[in-house]
Amino acid sequence: MFNEALFIIAVYCLICEVYGQVYPHGVRHRGFVPQLTDSEALTIAIVGEYLGLGEDKAIFEYFSKHYPAWFPALTDRSLLVRQWTNLWQVQQVIWQAIVQRSGADHSAIQIIDTLPVPVCQVKRYKRRHIFCQDVLLEPDVGYCASKDWYYFGFKGGLRIAANGMIVHAPLLLARPHDSQHTDALLAGTPAGTLGLADKAFLDEDKQTALQDDYALRLLTPLREGMQPTAFMLPEGLKGLRQLIETVNGQPLPPPVTSGAPAPGFTAVDLAGVTHTLAANGGRPTLLQFWASWCPHCRSDLSLVKKLFAQYGGNGLRILTVSVDQDLNALQALIQKEQLAYPVISTAAHPSLPDLYEMQGIPAYYLIGADGTIVKTWSGSVTERPSDFEDAVTRLLAPAGT
């Protein structure tokens, strides 16, 4: 099994190999040579994003702290960010080369979906300072039906192969309905491919045209009360279609940010105990959103259990919210891992992810005794445990220490 160090080495070796094949003479023919090689800079970016480090500063600080011997030239964050900007198109070309090498773009089954790409909250978009003019694609108000959430920005298109590899990811207008983006999402798909999508792409006329004109068969679930059609998604493929929900659920920074009041709620956990998060009753709280099927969430369990054992009796309350739909699988994992802290299910409280404007799991909110969010984490915290534990320790430390 890969640990983090081996993962970094594997990514670096792959980037070096593909970069050399695609750009045998390099991409830089004038100007100053950056301190880091392009392969080093791309490796840092890719691994940092995979670890859920959502900001340039967090990625720079993480690699500077943990891997200074591996990247001795990593000394200036502004230079690193500038190099990333210059390499954006190179990174896209390398990604497509890896997709083609793997054969994923010719997968017999491909799955499409969209996800929100917010630029800012709707109420703030008139005061924004980015994407204001001279842009190729205008941001707009969009609606995410699965979260019943309005946002300002774009839609991210996503097409994956049956093995979960992303093969196409166009940036799309936010306002049009998903079904209007079907052509853009299926662009370049080989004839004879079987496409899977959710009900948002249900359009029998469009599905018929795709089959007649391009030999592409797009299957979707039916809406309630509909009669079966030739493009009905069979029961046996529903699990495969849901694979894309795991991929597009890759962590993004939670919109409910540090310094903001934590949204309050009252919920009953799986053991029947009622919990209220409001003024907090003077108790600092760690709130986690997770799922039993999420590998990053499962890898974090030992750290969350450690915090509960260490601080659960010393003032820290831990509340976890599971987004599992399969409660039997959730209960089995709870018993296997012997989770002693409360687990609330969104099956009983479906509004909780919307309340915190969730965009991915795992996500963590450390909330002070006054109900203010002290810090948030998006993605696995197992690879950065000291940052996680130090924040909890500081929150619980007596005033003045």
Inside any domain, residue 129: yes
115: containing domain: 103-247
CATH number at residue 280: 3.40.30.10
* 85 plus 129 within the same structural domain: no
Residues 77 and 123 in one domain: no
Residue 256 lies in a domain: no
DSSP E strand boundaries for 174-244: 194-196, 217-219
Where does residue 197 rank: exposed (0-12), middle (13-18), buried (19+ CB within 10 A)?
Answer: buried
Q: For the domain that residue 140 is a member of, what is the CATH number?
A: 3.30.420
Residues 200 and 306 in one domain: no
Whether residue 254 lies inside any domain: the answer is no
209 to 112, 193, 247, 276: CA distances (angstroms): 17, 14, 28, 52
Tell me, what's the pLDDT at 134? 59
Asked which of 49, 65, 100 is the last residue of a domain, the reply is 100
What pLDDT does 253 receive? 45
Domain match, 273 and 193 both: no
259 lies in some domain: no
Are residue 65 and residue 156 in the same domain, yes or no?
no
So what's the pLDDT on residue 95? 93
Mark residue 277 as left, alpha or beta (left: phi above 0; alpha: psi -120 to 50; beta: remaining): beta
235 and 134 part of one domain: yes
The pLDDT, as a whole number, for residue 1 is 40
User: What pLDDT score was predicted for residue 43?
Assistant: 96
**What is the value of pTM for the model shown?**
0.59
Does residue 108 sit in the same domain as residue 89?
no
My answer on whether 53 and 144 are in the same domain is: no
Q: Using one digit for the tens of pLDDT, what is the confidence trace for 172-191?
A: 999 999 999 999 999 999 99
pLDDT at 248: 67
Let me know if residue 401 belongs to a domain: no
The pair phi, psi for residue 351, each rounded to 5°, is -85, -10
Do the domain assignments include residue 258? no
* Last-in-domain residue among 100, 127, 142: 100
Would residue 370 count as lying in a domain? Answer: yes
The total number of structural domains in the chain stands at: 3
Statement to judge: residues 282 and 369 lie in one domain: yes
Question: Are 109 and 236 part of one and the same domain?
Answer: yes
Number of neighbouring beta carbons within 10 Å of residue 142: 22
157 and 279 belong to one structural domain: no
Which residues of the chain fall below pLDDT 50? 1, 251-254, 400
Residues 309 and 191 in one domain: no
Instruction: Give strand ranges (E) for 174-233.
Output: 194-196, 217-219
In this prediction, residue 147 carries a pLDDT of: 67
| Model pLDDT, residue 195 | 94
Domain finish residue from 100, 128, 145: 100
